[in-house]
């Protein structure tokens, strides 16, 4: 009996390594066949800064000194994620991805949409062919009449928000509850980079920025996703009073296989969403539960 297949579409460059490698590792260990796709079938590469931590300190623009990492060691992917990504780079499906044009919803039991913030994420986020596939995946029922499981994290939720249903002519997230990269997390990383760390490239953590006259944060992930929803109340951040609230919202703690206290994952039917790399283990485990159910 063949293994159920999961598809993870990716940009050619700059995706977040944690948001891809950690769920991939969990899925493959649980017996799923995980496939990948890029726009033309080229081997994808993660954001190198998130692997090495280089160029994330104030001296990071200096060729020799950039090897000395302080802030960069904190901002890059943590040890479990880097190990998972090193293993992923040896995976045949990862090194030989499909093209977006190859993708058929009927070939897959589930869809995972990861994120990343660096500039070369833009072609992935704006690809109309991929958006059409995502919309079709959201609307297709399996042989039991159920929607197939979908998981999205960080900017992957933005991709889903931009995917328009041909039936309703609205976002596939319209009427759903979701989370995504919050403005608090996005702006904290941006301000840290802009004023303290990578000041010579102050917008590294903002994939999209506001034009003159637009309110700060208008093109943040949270704000754009929220505009695609039926109600602002459908964007679900961690409510005050939630257990481990400070751990979940500080941006300093990341989850592990056996510690979901820092994580925040929102479920609406067979759709799961998460905010950032710190939620990746919990998202992967919950995604496996959905797929097995």
Domain extent listing, the chain: 5-292
Q: Are 26 and 132 in contact (CB under 8 A)?
A: no
Instruction: Choose the weakest-confidence range: 10-14, 35-39, 189-193.
Output: 189-193
pTM flag (> 0.75) = yes
Domain 5-292 has CATH 3.40.50.880: yes
Average pLDDT over residues 168-191: 96
Average pLDDT over residues 146-173: 97
User: Distance between CA 114 and CA 7 in Å, rounded?
Assistant: 11
Number of Cα atoms under 13 Å in the Cβ half of residue 187: 12
Burial 80-113 (b: 16+ CB within 10 A, else e): bbbebbeebeebebbeebbebeebebeebbbbbb
- Tell me the three state secondary structure of residue 87: helix
Burial class (CB in 10 A: 0-12, 13-18, 19+), 231: exposed
Mean pLDDT, range 277-292, rounded to an integer: 97
CA distances from 259 to 23, 53, 240, 253 (A): 15, 24, 20, 11
CA dist., res. 106 & res. 5, Å (int) = 10
Burial class (CB in 10 A: 0-12, 13-18, 19+), 155: buried
Residue 46 has pLDDT above 70, yes or no: yes
């Amino acid at each position: 009996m063949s293994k159920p297949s999961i598809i993870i579409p990716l940009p050619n460059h700059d995706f977040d390594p944690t948001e891809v490698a950690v769920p991939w590792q969990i899925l493959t260990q649980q017996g799923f066949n995980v496939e990948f796709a890029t726009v033309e079938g080229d081997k994808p590469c993660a954001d190198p800064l998130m692997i090495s931590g280089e160029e994330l300190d104030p001296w990071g623009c200096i060729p020799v000194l950039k090897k000395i990492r302080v802030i960069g060691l904190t901002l890059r992917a943590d040890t479990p994620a880097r190990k998972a990504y090193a293993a992923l780079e040896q995976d045949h499906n990862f090194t030989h991805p499909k093209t977006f044009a190859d993708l058929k919803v009927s070939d897959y039991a589930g869809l995972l949409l990861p994120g990343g913030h660096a500039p070369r994420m833009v072609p992935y986020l704006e690809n109309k062919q991929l958006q059409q596939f995502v919309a079709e995946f959201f609307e297709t029922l399996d042989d039991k009449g159920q929607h197939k499981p979908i998981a999205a994290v960080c900017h992957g939720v933005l991709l889903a928000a931009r995917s328009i249903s041909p039936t309703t002519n609205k976002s596939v997230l319209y009427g759903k509850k979701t989370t995504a990269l919050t403005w608090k997390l996005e702006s904290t990383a941006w301000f840290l980079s802009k004023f303290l760390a990578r000041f010579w490239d102050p917008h590294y953590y903002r994939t999209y920025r506001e034009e003159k006259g637009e309110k700060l944060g208008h093109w943040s992930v949270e704000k754009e996703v929220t505009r695609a929803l039926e109600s602002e109340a459908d964007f679900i951040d961690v409510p005050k009073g939630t257990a481990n609230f400070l751990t979940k919202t500080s941006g300093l703690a990341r989850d592990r296989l056996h510690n979901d206290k820092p994580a925040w994952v929102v479920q609406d039917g067979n759709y799961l969403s998460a905010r950032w790399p710190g939620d990746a283990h919990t998202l992967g485990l919950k995604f496996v539960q959905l797929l097995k159910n």
